[in-house]
Structure 1
Amino acid sequence: MQTEKVVDYIVNWLKDYATNAGVNGFVVGISGGIDSAVTSTLCAKTGLNVLCIEMPIHQAESHVTRAQEHITQLRNQFDNVSDTRTDLTPVFEEFKTEVFFDGDQATIDMALANTRARLRMTTLYYYAGLYKLLVAGTGNKVEDFGVGFYTKYGDGGVDLSPIADLVKSQVYKLGAYLQVPESIMQAEPSDGLFGDTRSDEDQIGASYPELEWAMKMDDEGKNTSDFSGRELEIFKIYKRFNTANKHKMIPIPICNIPNNLM
């Protein structure tokens, strides 16, 4: 990958899109992870206004520290970057008092995790509307089009996706080129939706390099009979997530009424 040229291409794409849309810039949720760090830096390089927002909900301290380190670096480097912090913990706790809990604990925990992501999406769009900004998505290709590892209408609710055609290893290459803080470069990827330090790999059962391999094999038309051992296990994990999350990756199904019924 020609990293410098890819960076320039994305920055120009972002700037052109925002200019044509008649907006002032971008709003980005900052999590302390590599994807949001790269996305916000690319947005900053457009020269347009960039609002970075921390939205903690019982957040692990390490995530908060990395997010703040990145925002400080961005603000020191770009005078078009501003930031704010919206503590959504009280909102989340109040929400929990108004709903009932039915089902096993794992199901409840997942529903609440997705609720966190949707509260953050609502916050991003509030500020986007306030300042005439676009919500920049932070999903990469493996998450968005491979395993669907994101929340529908949560972190999947965005206006544009600048890094969604890059797999995770390519995002790290951009991160190194953009001089993203080393603490973020070295941290294990995590969605931060459970208030602890569990990683994406803990939840999925495979690392991003493994998932990139499985995605490539699937694109080449391979199937389970082509693998054994750990490769077979990884491929099955990938296919399971890919199949279960197809509804996130395709347009919303529309029930088209036959003309003779209209």
Structure 2
Amino acid sequence: MRTEKVAEHIITWLKEYATKANMNGFVVGVSGGIDSAVTSTLCAKTGLPTLCLEMPIHQDKGQISRAQKHIKELEHNFANVSNVEINLTPVFEEFKGAMPQQRKSDTIELSLANSRARLRMTTLYYFAGLHKYLVAGTGNKVEDFGVGFYTKYGDGGVDLSPIADLMKSEVFELGDYLNIIPEIMNAAPTDGLFGDSRSDEDQLGASYDELEWAMNNFEKGKKAEDFTGRDKEVFEIYKRLNGSNKHKMLPIPVCEVPFHLKN
């Protein structure tokens, strides 16, 4: 990948999009992970106002410290960067307490995790509305178009997606070029939705390198029977996630009523 040129292309695209849309700048949720670090840095490099939001909800301390260090680095290097921290833990607890009490299970845990992401989306759009900013998404290609590893109307609710055409490995390449702090570059990717240190790989059952390989082969028309061992296992993981999460990746289905029924 021609990393410098890719960075320049995204920065120009961001600036032109905001200008044409008559918007003032960007708001980015910064989590302490590589995707949000790269996205916020690219937004900062446009020269337009860039608001970095920290929105902890029972957050792992390591994630918080990485996010804070990254934002301080951005603020040091870019006069157009500002930061607001909104502690959403009390809001989340109030929401959880208002819901019918359920016995602890995988489904209730996932529902609550997705609710965290949707509370953050609401917060991002609150500040976007205040300042006439665009909400910049932080999803990469594997997450957004491969396995659907994001929350519908949560971190999937954005105005534009600057890195969604880049594989995770390419995001790391950009991170290296943009001098993202080592703590983030070396951290295991995590969505931070469960209040612990579980990684994306723990949840997905495969690493991003493995999923990139599977995505490339799936798009070439390969089938599970073309592989053996771990390769076959990873390919089946990718195929299962891609199928079960199609509802996130496809446009909302619209029931088209026949003309003769409306006239």
Alignment of 1:58-207 (within 5 A): 58-102=58-102, 105-207=105-207
1:102 deviation in Å?
Answer: 3.9
CA contact (8 A) 1:148 1:242 kept: yes
TM-score normalised according to structure 2 size: 0.99
1:89 alignment partner AA: T
1:258 deviation in Å?
Answer: 0.3
Residues 82-124 of structure 1: CA distance to partner in whole angstroms, max 9, x if unpaired? 0000000000000011111346611000000000000000000
Distance 1:190 1:102 in 2: 26
1:214 alignment partner AA: A
1:219 alignment partner AA: E
CA RMSD of aligned residues (A): 0.7
The residue aligned with 2:33 is 33
CA contact (8 A) 1:121 1:154 kept: yes
Residues 118-173 of structure 1: CA distance to partner in whole angstroms, max 9, x if unpaired? 00000000000000000000000000000000000000000000000000000000
1:42 alignment partner AA: L
The residue aligned with 2:49 is 49
1:188 alignment partner AA: A
1:148 alignment partner AA: G
The residue aligned with 2:214 is 214
Q: CA 1:163–1:109 in structure 2 vs 1: closer, same or farther (change >3 Å)?
A: same
1:220 deviation in Å?
Answer: 0.5
Distance 2:109 2:76 in 1: 38
Residues 7-48 of structure 1: CA distance to partner in whole angstroms, max 9, x if unpaired? 000000000000001111000000000000000000000000
| Unaligned residue ranges in structure 1 (runs of 5+) | none
CA contact (8 A) 1:137 1:156 kept: yes
Distance 1:155 1:62 in 2: 20
Distance 2:145 2:14 in 1: 21
2:106 alignment partner AA: A
Residues 172-224 of structure 1: CA distance to partner in whole angstroms, max 9, x if unpaired? 00000000000000000000000000000000000000000000000100001
Partner-residue secondary structure (3-state), 2:114: helix
CA contact (8 A) 1:101 1:108 kept: no
Residues 56-94 of structure 1: CA distance to partner in whole angstroms, max 9, x if unpaired? 000000000000010000000000000000000000000
The residue aligned with 1:238 is 238
Distance 1:188 1:138 in 2: 16
Partner-residue secondary structure (3-state), 1:12: helix
Distance 2:236 2:63 in 1: 30
1:247 alignment partner AA: H
Distance 2:96 2:133 in 1: 30
The residue aligned with 1:10 is 10
CA contact (8 A) 1:30 1:36 kept: yes
Partner-residue secondary structure (3-state), 2:126: helix
2:29 alignment partner AA: G
Partner-residue secondary structure (3-state), 1:52: strand
Distance 2:215 2:174 in 1: 21
| Unaligned residue ranges in structure 2 (runs of 5+) | none
The residue aligned with 2:225 is 225
Distance 2:104 2:23 in 1: 45
Partner-residue secondary structure (3-state), 1:130: helix
